[in-house]
Amino acid sequence: MTGQASDQNNGNPFKKLTGLSVLATLVISFWAYPRLPYRVPSHWNVAGEIDGYSSAFSGAFLLPLITLAMWLFFLLIPLIDPRKDNYKKMGKVFWLFSFTVILFLCLLHLGILMITLGMLKTSLVPLLSFAGIGVLFIVIGFYMGKIKHNYFFGIRTPWTLASEEVWNKTHRTVGPWWVVSGVIFLMLGFLPKYLMVPLLFIIIVVLALGSAVYSYIVYRSINR
């Protein structure tokens, strides 16, 4: 019991930082809203060119409200998951994961506001976006093997959900894949544009399809 309580307490700083990140983003959005133009950039292509716009209100508040909803969902997950006891064993990992995701969204929104207000060059969008995704993947991959069996986050295939042993083996094996993918993302912004799409496709296939196939193979080997 003492060990579980310690793990849960270890997650509290990240839990607080997650909430503070959401609050700071909302405050910045209220500050920026009166200063935004009629149209706010909302989408960029891989070349860093703006190819989508939204209204000033959506540009200021849509992503922060999505982030707020995600934060509330993260607070709710440990209360409603049938395997809620496992969250006590991985308090630090769960809230570090939550904080990393929320912080990425908050920084993404801050970048959009800075570009709109002329405080950041549009050409830096691909570099900064890929770098942010890379750091996100590296952090998740590094702690992937410590994610306990649950129904809301992690590699949730029919075979990992059916067996805790399959879950553990899959997450320990796939974690390094995420780290390597994160390193590739860090380099994507410096690579020629014609290499970006193929590399993105390879990463998606390896992480999504590869994880599912590996978990199935492990499940079959255990049940023989």
Q: What is the pLDDT of residue 142?
A: 94
Q: Angle, nearest 10°, between helix axes 2-10 and 12-32?
A: 20
The mean pLDDT of 169-185, rounded to a whole number, is 94
Phi (first) and psi of residue 160, to 5 degrees: -70, -35
Let me know: does 71 contact 18? Beta carbons within 8 Å.
yes
Q: What is the pLDDT of residue 125?
A: 76
pTM of the model: 0.85
Phi (first) and psi of residue 36, to 5 degrees: -80, 150
Task: Report long-range pairs for 32-35 (Cβ below 8 Å, ≥24 apart).
Answer: 32/60, 32/113, 32/116, 32/117, 33/57, 33/60, 33/61, 35/117
Lowest mean pLDDT among 117-131, 134-148, 165-179, 205-219: 117-131
